[in-house]
Amino acid sequence: MRIHYNAIAGQSVERLAALSDGLFAVAMTILVLDLKVPAAEAIHGEAALLDALTALAPRLLVYLMSFLTLGIFWVGQQTQLNHVARGDRYLTWIHLAFLFAVTLMPFSTSLMAEFVALRTALLVYWLNILALGVILYGSWRYAAGAGLVQEGLDETVHRAVRLRIIVAQVLYATGAALCALNTYCSIGFIIVVQLIYVVGPRRGVLARL
């Protein structure tokens, strides 16, 4: 009998998690390198420095937004992998595709920080979020279909995982569509959505999201 390489490759969920943690850690930290310290020659005194820092505020906001995005998707991936009993090469490659989208986040973020008023930049950013959501959704579908999730996992868990991604992506798409008005509306809407997901309200209508 012949064993094919594909049957033995990429089975370690632990190493996939470790690579993901490392990659998220680097992406989250690299984002901030875009916050450049003002050049010393241009700054004379406290007031000038305060002005220069205030001028950095929009970039800090964009950075915060991207950190939230990465945090949300890191939690999302973790939640999935916590319920996966074993991996295979296909699941591994789905997650590598997910990680590829993660590595593009610092670029999309810089782009939006640099061109905050242009729709093109906002749409690129949204496409990045969309890719993250679609791949994560696909990852769960595949893991469930291929019997890789933990035995006896309740259908309600499956439903909760799928529903969260779909609702979130509908909200992000709504936010992106708001750029028909202007890009600041989009950014504001997306940040509000993200803060709701971060805070995770326990009751009221927001708790249903």
Kind and range of the H or E run holding 171: helix 155-177
**CA-to-CA separations, 59 to 10, 16, 40, 95, 177, in angstroms, rounded:** 39, 32, 19, 29, 22
Closest CB to its own copies among residues 151, 156: 156
How near is the Cβ of 188 to its own copies at its closest, in Å? 20
Task: Show the 3-state SS of 36-62.
Answer: CCCCHHHCCCHHHHHHHHHHHHHHHHH
What is the per-residue binding string for its own copies in 172-201, x denoting contact by CB under 8 A?
Answer: --------------------------xxx-
Q: Does 139 bind its own copies (CB under 8 A)?
A: no
Q: Does 169 bind its own copies (CB under 8 A)?
A: no
Q: Does 120 bind its own copies (CB under 8 A)?
A: yes
Axis crossing angle, helix 119-145 with helix 89-114, rounded to the nearest 10: 170
The Cα–Cα gap between 157 and 153 comes to: 7
Contact window for its own copies (CB under 8 A) among 83-91, 134-142, 143-151, 170-178? 83-91
Contact window for its own copies (CB under 8 A) among 25-33, 130-138, 143-151, 184-192? 25-33
| Tokens matching residue 115 | 């061109």
Q: Is 88 left (phi over 0), alpha (psi -120 to 50) or beta?
A: beta
What distance, in Å, lies between the first and last C-alpha atoms of the chain? Answer: 51
| Tokens matching residue 46 | 């406290």
Contact window for its own copies (CB under 8 A) among 17-25, 129-137, 140-148, 186-194? 17-25
Q: Does 24 bind its own copies (CB under 8 A)?
A: yes
How near is the Cβ of 101 to its own copies at its closest, in Å? 11
In the block, residue with structure tokens 């999201």: 209
List 69, 76, 140, 193, residue binding its own copies (CB under 8 A)? 76
Q: Does 37 bind its own copies (CB under 8 A)?
A: yes
List 61, 65, 69, 71, residue binding its own copies (CB under 8 A)? 71
How near is the Cβ of 169 to its own copies at its closest, in Å? 14
